[in-house]
C-alpha cells in the first residue's frame, strides 16, 4: 500500500504542478490581452465603456436601433432621458446609450448633455471635473467650446451641467436654451440629454418640449404604476413627446451567468 500511496501522491503533485504552470501562463496572457481603460475612475456601471459586446451592452444597442427605427416626420436627433422619481437609473442609461451609439455609429458625432443641474452626475460617473458647463453657457455667455469635454472616447463629446444655478427650470426653458439646442443639432448627429425626474420638478418637461422626444426610465419592482402615469401626464401637459419607456433592473438568465438588463 505504501508504494501505491507514494505513486498517488506523486501523480497528484505532478498534476498540481501542471495546473500551476497553466495558471501562470494564463495570467501572463491576460496581462497583454486585457486593454487598459481610458480612465479608471469611470463608474463600473458604464458597461458600454468597459465591454461593448456584453449582453447588457447589447440591450443598449437594441435601444439605439429602436430609436433609429422610430417613425417620425422629422429626424429624431435630440432625445431627453428622464424618470418619474430619483434613483431609477436614468443617468446611467443616458451615459451607456450615448457611449454605445458612439461605438456603433462610427461616422456619427454623439453629444451627451447633463441637464440635471440640481443633481448632476455625469461628470462623477465618467471620472472628470470641469470648470464650465450648460448653465454657464446660458447664464454667463461662456463660449460653447470652453464647456465641451472629450474624455477620449471616439465620436463622443460631453457637455457637463456647469455651476448649480438657483433657477434651473427657467434656464432650461429659456430662448437661449432653445437656440443652443438648435445650434448643437447642426453640429451633432445625436444629442442625448440627461434631465431630472419629472415628478419632483418641472425641468424634464421643460427641456423635453424643446427636444425631438423623451424617454422615461422605469425601475422594475420599485416604481408604482400610479407614479409612472403621473409622470406621463406631466410630460403631456408640458407638450413633451413621449417616445417610449426603458425598464431597468430586470434580471434574466443566460447559462452559467446572470445579467442585469440596463
Lowest-confidence range among 21-25, 60-64, 103-107, 133-137? 21-25
Looking at the structure, do residues 22 and 82 belong to the same domain, yes or no? no
In-domain check, residue 40: no
Looking at the structure, do residues 10 and 88 belong to the same domain, yes or no? no
What's the distance, Cα to Cα, between the start and end of the chain in Å? 59
Looking at the structure, do residues 186 and 109 belong to the same domain, yes or no? yes
> How confident is residue 3, by pLDDT bands cut at 50, 70 and 90?
low
> What is the C-alpha to C-alpha distance for residues 109 and 8, in angstroms, rounded to an integer?
64
Task: Tell me the pLDDT tens digit for each residue of 161-206.
Answer: 999 999 999 999 999 999 999 999 999 999 999 999 999 999 999 9
Number of separate domains in the chain: 2
Looking at the structure, do residues 131 and 198 belong to the same domain, yes or no? yes
Looking at the structure, do residues 82 and 181 belong to the same domain, yes or no? yes
Task: Tell me the pLDDT tens digit for each residue of 37-53.
Answer: 444 689 999 999 998 88
Structural domain that includes position 13 = 1-34
Is 21's pLDDT higher than 70? no
Q: Quote the pLDDT of residue 16.
A: 52
In-domain check, residue 163: yes
Looking at the structure, do residues 209 and 82 belong to the same domain, yes or no? yes
Looking at the structure, do residues 7 and 99 belong to the same domain, yes or no? no
In-domain check, residue 41: no
Q: Is the pTM of this model over 0.85?
A: no
The percent helix, strand, coil of the chain (3-state, each to 5) is 45, 15, 40
Chain centre distance of CA 39: 16
In-domain check, residue 39: no
Strand duo 257-261 + 250-254: pairing: antiparallel
Looking at the structure, do residues 12 and 135 belong to the same domain, yes or no? no
* Helix, strand, or coil (residue 128): coil
Residue 112's H or E segment, with its range, is: strand 110-114
In-domain check, residue 12: yes
Looking at the structure, do residues 220 and 181 belong to the same domain, yes or no? yes
Question: Which CATH number does the domain housing residue 203 bear?
Answer: 3.40.50.300
In-domain check, residue 198: yes
In-domain check, residue 42: no
> What is the C-alpha to C-alpha distance for residues 164 and 119, in angstroms, rounded to an integer?
9
> What is the C-alpha to C-alpha distance for residues 208 and 194, in angstroms, rounded to an integer?
10
Name beta bridge partners: 248.
Answer: 219
Task: Tell me the pLDDT tens digit for each residue of 118-143.
Answer: 999 999 999 998 888 999 999 887 78
What are the CB-based long-range contacts (under 8 Å, 24+) for 13-19? Answer: none
Residues 240-258: what's their mean pLDDT? 72
- The percentage of residues in the chain with a pLDDT greater than 90, rounded to a whole number, is 61
Short-list 96, 171, 188, 166, CA closest to 134: 171
Looking at the structure, do residues 13 and 143 belong to the same domain, yes or no? no
CA angle, 128 then 137 then 43, to 5°: 20
In-domain check, residue 68: yes
In terms of DSSP H, where are the helices of 69-188? 90-104, 122-126, 134-139, 144-147, 168-172, 175-187
Is 22's pLDDT higher than 80? no
Task: Tell me the pLDDT tens digit for each residue of 78-115.
Answer: 999 999 999 999 999 999 999 999 999 878 999 999 99
Looking at the structure, do residues 106 and 12 belong to the same domain, yes or no? no
Residue 261's H or E segment, with its range, is: strand 257-261
Q: What order of strands is seen across the sheet that includes strand 156-159?
A: 156-159, 110-114, 190-194, 78-83, 213-219, 242-248
Looking at the structure, do residues 55 and 28 belong to the same domain, yes or no? no
Amino acid at each position: 500500500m505504501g508504494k501505491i500511496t507514494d505513486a498517488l501522491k506523486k501523480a497528484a503533485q505532478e498534476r498540481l504542478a501542471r495546473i500551476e504552470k497553466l495558471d501562470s501562463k494564463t495570467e501572463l496572457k491576460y496581462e497583454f490581452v486585457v486593454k487598459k481603460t481610458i480612465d479608471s475612475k469611470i463608474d463600473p456601471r458604464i458597461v458600454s465603456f468597459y465591454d461593448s459586446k456584453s449582453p447588457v451592452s447589447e440591450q443598449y444597442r437594441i435601444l439605439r436601433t429602436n430609436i433609429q427605427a422610430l417613425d417620425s416626420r422629422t429626424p429624431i436627433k435630440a432625445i431627453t432621458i428622464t424618470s418619474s422619481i430619483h434613483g431609477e437609473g436614468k443617468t446611467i442609461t443616458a451615459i451607456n446609450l450615448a457611449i454605445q451609439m458612439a461605438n456603433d455609429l462610427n461616422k456619427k458625432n454623439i453629444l451627451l448633455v447633463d441637464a440635471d443641474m440640481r443633481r448632476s452626475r455625469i461628470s462623477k460617473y465618467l471620472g472628470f471635473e470641469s470648470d464650465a458647463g450648460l448653465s454657464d453657457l446660458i447664464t454667463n455667455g461662456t463660449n460653447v467650446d470652453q464647456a465641451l469635454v472629450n474624455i477620449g472616447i471616439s465620436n463622443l463629446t460631453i457637455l457637463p451641467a456647469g455651476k448649480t444655478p438657483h433657477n434651473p427650470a427657467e434656464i432650461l426653458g429659456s430662448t437661449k436654451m432653445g437656440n443652443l439646442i438648435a445650434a448643437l443639432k447642426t453640429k451633432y448627429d445625436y444629442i442625448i440629454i440627461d434631465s431630472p425626474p419629472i415628478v419632483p420638478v418641472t425641468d424634464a418637461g421643460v427641456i423635453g418640449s424643446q427636444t425631438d422626444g423623451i424617454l422615461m426610465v422605469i425601475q422594475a419592482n420599485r416604481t408604482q404604476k400610479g407614479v409612472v402615469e403621473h409622470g406621463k401626464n406631466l410630460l403631456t401637459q408640458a407638450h413633451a413627446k413621449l417616445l417610449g419607456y426603458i425598464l431597468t433592473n430586470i434580471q434574466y438568465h443566460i447559462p452559467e451567468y446572470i445579467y442585469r438588463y440596463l
